[in-house]
Structure 1
């Protein structure tokens, strides 16, 4: 019965894809692959070295070197990026930087650590597949996000590690076309990290970006602070501020695991549009993602996406953490008689003898990073440049 249901869902999904773009339709678009065997994706010029017998499948990237994966003029759509590297250590995956430039811009639309861009938080690569990324056996990196360009596209990888990378393989698959829809948007990606968030200040998964566009989703990495022990970290709500929003957002969730479709805590799971690839309270590392594909989020003027840094624990455990001098701020308590807001009215203090015995939610401070994916109506986004490699690899 279960296998029949899965087969039925797969059939529905395949039918949906065919409805969008039938496989039998002919097109005048020109398929091209950029690889080390044909770096310029030139017509009839692939695999010319070593008498065509696999003469240039890979190259090293020396420390400090920039390697160009794609540099093409004209109109087209990047459809797939595949690559693999010989050193897949967490530090190397954070030290390699991938940048993408559209239409001759000098500012990258995409600038992120290589591993994080491909959905690998904390440098922990594993077999997985979702709607946008995959690593079939935990040894490679695949991206199938469509990336239109009108005048040209350039993709580079920079080795910002202190050591050489011996083996780097790749191909960038794209189509050259003569037309694009007038409303075709440019793909963007922004990565940021805060080693220790500010108490009672939400973490910006995507700082404010201006223009018209679509928020595609986010991959979040979290390292919980040791002073909170194994208390639950994920009570924070995701908030998405659209267009004219001021202090209060239009879109708000109910908790971290709720945002990715789970509930009552969080374990490892990998699904098409949502998942948690790391859930380890021993190493204090967590990673989760959500892609807004079936539930698109468009914006006409601007967008900002945040997550509250809020956790929860039993009353007596929270009392002990405060006694031990740990940084936290109680905000509410759920108990057998209801729910008490601690930031409104005149509630009892946590150390009061009549404070309810229940689940206490509290602001805390953590090490957060986020890779946000979005489309925009222009090839530049005006966001801060990618943090330096020292900041990226700290603690890895």
Structure 2
């Protein structure tokens, strides 16, 4: 059940929700925190238990907090989260069915298409970002025996997080694929190298989305590069080859405003979008872009392996392509069977930092 046409059907699913007011999601257990144990006990001191006594969590510096540990079978339906401070310092990890390695490992901002630590509204089917820093995810995430989610705080200071995870307990089909998301960053991209969005995949599944946080280090247009999907037995040449960066993100002609032709035009649609951070004040020295593309109606299916790359190309003299040395970070979203290959190590805090 995931669209309007199915909402009238009778179902045996059980709705549950986890937040700081109900860490386990158990029925009839929300808002039970004793006043003396609540993080908001001072604000609720005149009202007592049940009156917003424990609405958020504090995560100590250099520590990890388990925000969900759910027994299945079930399906994650919605994640809402609002972080503080640097969004690259808070790492989301999700583990399915007792796997040792995470299937999701990503800074929280990039996971919700906010790679530059700056708010921009997104109105898509899979991710919505609303004022003031409300991150929402609607990817469906099935699991058979267990779902474990953690947040790691890389910062030197304690951080506060409000969150809610909505899920259903339900029977699942015999064959399911598990949700995955992997973050990468290269800054700067070495000259004439191709940026790798995803590689080393082992399993059967479908690729469902790309987010890029792209910081340009040159003037003029930067998006001539092609995205390429190397599926299963592909070696030197891919099965799917795009025609340009803006083309892949379902735009055209440099994302130009068609009315003025002198500026970029931001947009947010159900499947694709562009955010533009312009160099319009002191210390912001270059353009930065956020782009998402959801392959919801057009997943890229693979049986054994998948590799995804994108070129960074601009223009130089003589009408020639210029290989760019830009700051590029990405999140690849896909579903696949388990077990999955171990991810490359996540960069350290200094390499993650937006500077």
Q: Given the two structures, how large is their TM-score scaled by the length of structure 1?
A: 0.79
Structure 1 residue 366: Cα displacement: 1.4
Q: Which moved more, 1:100-109 or 1:49-58?
A: 49-58
Q: Does 1:120 align with 2:114?
A: yes
Q: SS of 1:384's equivalent?
A: coil
Structure 1 residue 135: Cα displacement: 1.5
Count residues in correspondence.
Answer: 326
Q: Does 1:18 align with 2:12?
A: no
| 1:239 alignment counterpart | 228
RMSD of equivalent CA atoms: 1.6
| 1:253 alignment counterpart | 242
Q: Does 1:195 align with 2:187?
A: yes
Shift in alpha-carbon separation, 1:279–1:36, aligned structure 2, 3 A: closer
2:200–2:341 contact (8 Å) kept in structure 1: no
Larger radius of gyration: 1
| 1:298 alignment counterpart | 301
1:109–1:379 contact (8 Å) kept in structure 2: no
| 1:378 alignment counterpart | 338
Rounded Cα–Cα distance in structure 2 between residues aligned with 1:275 and 1:253: 17
Structure 1 residue 161: Cα displacement: 0.7
Structure 1 residue 79: Cα displacement: 0.6
CA deviations 1:46-85 (Å, max 9, x no partner) are: 1112421211111221211211111012210001000113
| 1:72 alignment counterpart | 70
1:111–1:385 contact (8 Å) kept in structure 2: no
Structure 1: which 4+ aligned runs deviate by more than 4 Å?
none
Greater percentage in helix? 1
| 2:167 alignment counterpart | 174
Rounded Cα–Cα distance in structure 2 between residues aligned with 1:155 and 1:64: 17
1:113–1:191 contact (8 Å) kept in structure 2: yes
Q: SS of 1:391's equivalent?
A: helix
Q: SS of 1:122's equivalent?
A: coil
2:113–2:290 contact (8 Å) kept in structure 1: no
| 1:29 alignment counterpart | 13
1:39-188 superposed matches below 5 A:
39-49=23-33, 50-85=48-83, 87=84, 89=85, 92-165=86-159, 167-177=160-170, 179-188=171-180
1:282-361 superposed matches below 5 A:
283-315=286-318, 359-361=319-321
- Structure 2, unaligned stretches of length 5 or more? 34-47, 256-263, 280-284
